[in-house]
Amino acid sequence: MNTLFDKIWDSHVVQHVEGGPDQLYIDRLYCHEVTTPQAFDGLRARGIRCLRPEKIFCMPDHNTPTEGQDRPIGDPVSRRQVDALAANAAEFGLTHYGMMDPDNGIIHVVGPEKGLSLPGMTIVCGDSHTSTHGAVGAVAFGIGTSEVEMVMASQCILQQKPKSMRIRIEGDLGKGVTAKDMALFLMNRLTTSGATGYFVEYAGSAVRSLSMEGRLTLCNLSIEMGARGGFIAPDEKTFAYLKGRDYAPKGEDWDKAVSAWKELRSDDDAVFDREIAFDAADIQPMITYGTNPGMGIPVGGSIPSLADIPAEGRASFCKSLEYMGFQPGESLLGKPVDYVFLGACTNGRIEDFRAFASIVAGRRKAPGVEAWLVPGSWKVSRQIADEGLDKVLEAAGFRIRQPGCSACLAMNPDKIPAGKYCVSTSNRNFEGRQGPGSRTLLASPLTAAAAAVTGKITDPREFL
């Protein structure tokens, strides 16, 4: 009667501290340039090395510009962080995929596409969206800098075991409804704190119907519900996606691995701390109107009225709407858009570019709209070219940029100016997240594409 989460977690416990945390073995540590410098300094101060360097993979993504990556980074702070990661990786003997490396990209895009993230693993990174890797059937979660140092030194981490939650979504998804809409729907229903303290297993026929790219998007956004992480039990789609990838097992080892991975599922009588079920038919294309990812509505719906908001939440609700320049009860349809951003570890994969291209093909980018289309990795960039999507997008007036986190967060040159509206496929719409004073509306690649060709918030189903 064990959940899959129990099975993976318990099999990695080295030591349990009664009344305290578990000493948990970690299969994979990912490092980017933002959260690791202090961890490396800590190792130096203690005169120790990384215990298992072959388990650690490094790449810059947050600070990297998405143009001119063959030239030195202009911003001195960003340049120092990126250079420090390269130097630290070399000093400690770690695998490093730097800028312009054909395997570089956003760490949460590259990990699965290289087969570094595999079913049954424990995976950590100094980044909250590490939950993305749960899509392959792994227990993956973000950690702090001191914990990064702990894993480097011991390949283990001290961690309290979270509670388990299963979210079932049954039925067929409607026209134009994507994994991103599914996630925004869940955040709207559960709020951004509804899964706090839990590790979420996504299940049900609607979840199983998702492609691997869709599953990566859904798991990516688990943290935005407050969850410690989220994952999906591996199945034939998982195995087909992973087969032949660089770090996936080969030959007889592959057959043995798949045989073991097929056992990675919750028992039929497994008991979860909390279970919730939703009907896929209730999910529509979504868009956010406020300053947290839970403030979402169907794209054709209306912002809640003040009377719909609990009394204790009205002050923050009004503050959020004031920041966004919206009013309670109004519709967002037809609102003008200044920027469109396709990319991030949430929606920077090849399927996302296919979806965007399916809307804009044969049309033109709206005058006055600035569009940033940023692949999540160089591999995705090559796939875009191989499939001819670059030609489709160029004919519609769009240009593909170089890989990186880009406008997901204001740590590189891709910043949305103050007061401007951006329909974004990224993961967070906090005040100033995309740049000081920027106004972010989270949506799927389909909804972003519809905004890009109309210059306003538009229901993507009009183009399908």
| Chain segment 235-245, per-residue pLDDT in tens | 999 999 999 99
Confirm whether 141 is domain-assigned: yes
Domain final residue pick, 226, 247, 275: 275
Report whether pLDDT(17) > 90.
no
Q: Give dist(CA 426, CA 412) in Å, integer.
A: 15
103 and 172 fall within a common domain? yes
**pTM beyond 0.75:** yes
Do 46 and 11 sit in the same domain of this protein?
yes
- Looking at 241, 275, 309, the residue that finishes a domain is 275
Boundary of a domain, candidates 275, 299, 329 = 275
Q: How many domains in the chain?
A: 2
403 pLDDT above the threshold of 90: yes
The answer to whether residues 343 and 388 belong to one domain is yes
Domain with residue 92: its CATH number is 3.30.499.10
Q: Are strands 22-25 and 156-159 parallel, antiparallel or unpaired?
A: antiparallel
269 and 291 inside one domain: no
Residues 443, 352 contacting (CB under 8 angstroms): no
For residue range 350-375, list pLDDT tens digits in order. Answer: 999 999 999 999 999 999 999 999 99
Cα 448 → chain centroid: 17
| CA dist list (Å): 295 to 190, 191, 303 | 11, 8, 9
68 with 207, same domain: the answer is yes
**Domain of residue 244, residue span:** 4-275
Residue 388 inside a domain? The answer is yes
Same domain, 226 and 175: yes
Among the listed residues 370, 379, 380, 389, the one whose alpha carbon sits nearest the alpha carbon of residue 348: 380
Mean pLDDT of 92-120: 98
pLDDT at residue 1, rounded to an integer: 85
Task: Determine the pLDDT at residue 86.
Answer: 98
Nearest to 348 by CA among 441, 216, 454: 216
Residues 378 and 444 in one domain: yes
Q: Decide: 176 and 460 in contact? Cβ < 8 Å.
A: yes
The pLDDT, as a whole number, for residue 225 is: 97
At 252-276, the pLDDT tens digits run 999 999 999 999 999 999 999 999 9
Q: Does 224 share its domain with 266? A: yes
**What is the reported pLDDT for 431?**
98
Mean pLDDT of 123-127: 98
Burial 428-461 (b: 16+ CB within 10 A, else e): bbebbbbbeebbbbbbbbbbbbbbbbbbbbbbbb
Please check whether residue 208 is in contact with residue 235, taking contact to mean a CB–CB distance below 8 angstroms: yes
- 262 and 233, same structural domain? yes
Query: Given a cut of 90, is residue 325 above it in pLDDT?
Result: yes
| Greatest Cα pair distance in the chain | 63
- Average pLDDT on 89-104 reads 98
Contact 229, 223 (CB under 8 A): yes
pLDDT surpassing 90 at residue 184: yes
Does 401 reside within a domain?
Answer: yes
227, 258: one domain:
yes
pLDDT band at 187 (very low <50, low <70, confident <90, very high): very high
Q: Which residues pair with 230 in a beta bridge?
A: 200
**Predicted pLDDT of residue 257:** 98
The residue type at 177: V
Average pLDDT, the chain: 98
User: For the residues 54-67, what does the mean pLDDT come to?
Assistant: 98
Q: Measuring CA to CA, which residue among 419, 431, 435, 415 is closest to residue 337? A: 419
Q: Are 232 and 137 members of one domain?
A: yes
Claim to verify: residue 153 and residue 86 sit in the same structural domain: yes
Give a yes or no: residue 451 inside a domain.
Answer: yes
Mean pLDDT of all residues in 306-311: 95
